[in-house]
Structures are given as structure tokens and as C-alpha cells.
Amino acid sequence: MSETTAHLALLDAARDAASRAYAPYSSFRVGAALVTEDGTVVTGANIENAAYGATICAEANAVTTAAATGARRIDTVAVVCLDGAAPCTPCGNCRQILREFGVETVVMQAEDGSPIGVPLSELLPMSFGPEAFT
């Protein structure tokens, strides 16, 4: 499978996950899909809360779900927003969450639907991560 085909498949999975978002306050549905080291695809969507600060972003949802099932290294994460402008990029907090598990590439969707792969190191330069403790 080519990298573009793999990225398109992940975007599809993220879009599907976004359709299950719980976003009654913002009406801004986000989906994320990632691949773990063993090739498993895990998805997540944003889950909002009446206490807004308790909202869980789609990327955080996908990453913590994967980590809770044992994943410790995640290569690629795709993000899709159904209700906003493309490309939809991860918020700052989510960039840090992706950083924890070594994400290399964040795939977003251009307006024409094509995948845009961006290194996490570009989205989060000079980042703080687990190596700080070694």
C-alpha cells in the first residue's frame, strides 16, 4: 500500500469517527484515527461536556484509547473536522499528547480531500517529551 493510500484510509476512518462525535455545544465534530506499531487502527471523536473544560478532543480520545489497550508507540495520526475549514490541525494540547507516544506524522485533509502529511516536529518544534526524564 502506498503512503498516500494509507493516509487516505486513515482520513476515511477519522471522518467516520467524527460522525460519532458528541458536540452539542460547539457543533464542531472532529475525528481522529491512528495506527499503532502492530498495525491496529484506533479512532476517537471529540466528546464535549456541559462543563466545557471537561471536553475531550478527538485526538486525545484516540491516543488514550490506544494507550489504554497497550500501545506505546504511534506512528501516524489523521485528523478530520466535519464542520470547519480544511485543513483542520490539532490544538496545542493535542500536539503535546501526540508527542508523548512518538507520533511522526499528522495527516490532515486539504480542501480537495487529498491528504497533507506534516511532521509533528513541525507542528510542535523544540518540544518537551519523555526523553527529558532519561
Site residues (vs ligand THU, CB under 6 A):
23, 26, 28, 30, 46, 48, 55, 57-59, 90-91, 94
**Angle, alpha carbons 15-8-87 (nearest 5°):** 60
Q: What is the DSSP string of 46-66?
A: -B--SSGGG-B-HHHHHHHHH
For ligand THU, give the closer residue by CB, 4 or 19.
19
For ligand THU, give the closer residue by CB, 42 or 48.
48
For ligand THU, give the closer residue by CB, 70 or 92.
92
Q: How far is the CB of 59 from ligand THU (least distance, A)?
A: 6
Q: 36: which strand partners? A: 74
Phi, psi of 116 (to 5 degrees): -120, 110
